[in-house]
Amino acid sequence: MRRTLVAVALAALVATAGCAAFGGGDTDTDAVPTDDVVEPSDPAANATGVNQSIRLSVGDSVAGSEWTSLSVEYPRENFTVESAQHENVSLGVDTDGDGELDEQFNETHISGVNNNAYSFTVELDTGYTLASGDVVVVEYPAVNNPAEPGNYTVSVTLNDEQTTNATVIVE
């Protein structure tokens, strides 16, 4: 009987310790989101000239290389991307995950801003070496939202090597 009681107590202790390791119970509302996102400043359907904020975590495939470009491709039948002047594009890097830009760049670091009807690419000469865990942040000011509300998948590419999908929510 005593061995059974010890075995049950040990099993309960191990199970409880295992559950405590999961972060699901954390309710810290000040936590900084780490998801890769493309977020419009105006999520309304048919909004024009919308500023798009792109946050992309640097992965191992581009870590150690200079930040040279960021491209975003929207569903061609839904979004319209217009041209933007260098000085209207904002750039930065959050190096410590606190949601604040630790490195900032201006129009002198942009060698080109190219677009077509459904995508844009910002070519850069930053001199900044990307580190795994960095979050690059770009704000592009000239995207027209689709007429229909919904969730739209966009493709974001960093340095022509790291590509991920993100969702734009249009209301």
Whether 39 is covered by a domain: the verdict is yes
Q: Which residue blocks in the chain are alpha helix, DSSP H?
A: 2-20
Whether 147 is covered by a domain: the verdict is yes
CB 136 within 8 A of CB 67: yes
Whether 8 is covered by a domain: the verdict is no
CB 60 within 8 A of CB 131: no
Whether 121 is covered by a domain: the verdict is yes
Q: How do residues 55-102 score in pLDDT, each as one tens digit? A: 999 999 999 999 999 999 999 999 999 999 999 999 999 999 999 999
Whether 105 is covered by a domain: the verdict is yes
- Quote the number of domains for the chain: 1
Whether 95 is covered by a domain: the verdict is yes
> 3 pLDDT exceeds 50?
no
Domain of residue 142 covers 34-170
Q: How do residues 4-53 score in pLDDT, each as one tens digit? A: 333 333 333 333 333 333 333 343 333 344 568 999 999 999 999 999 99
Q: Which residues contact 14 (CB under 8 A, 6 or more apart)?
A: none
Q: How far is CA 97 from CA 23, 27, 47, 164, in A?
A: 17, 18, 31, 19
Q: What is the mean pLDDT of residues 118-146?
A: 97
Q: What is the mean pLDDT of residues 98-122?
A: 96
User: How far apart are alpha carbons 42 and 149 in whole angstroms?
Assistant: 12
Whether 10 is covered by a domain: the verdict is no
User: How far apart are alpha carbons 2 and 10 in whole angstroms?
Assistant: 12
Whether 64 is covered by a domain: the verdict is yes
User: How far apart are alpha carbons 21 and 47 in whole angstroms?
Assistant: 44
pLDDT for the residue numbered 62: 98
pLDDT for the residue numbered 35: 65
Question: Domain with 55 in it: what CATH number?
Answer: 2.60.40.1290
> 133 pLDDT exceeds 70?
yes
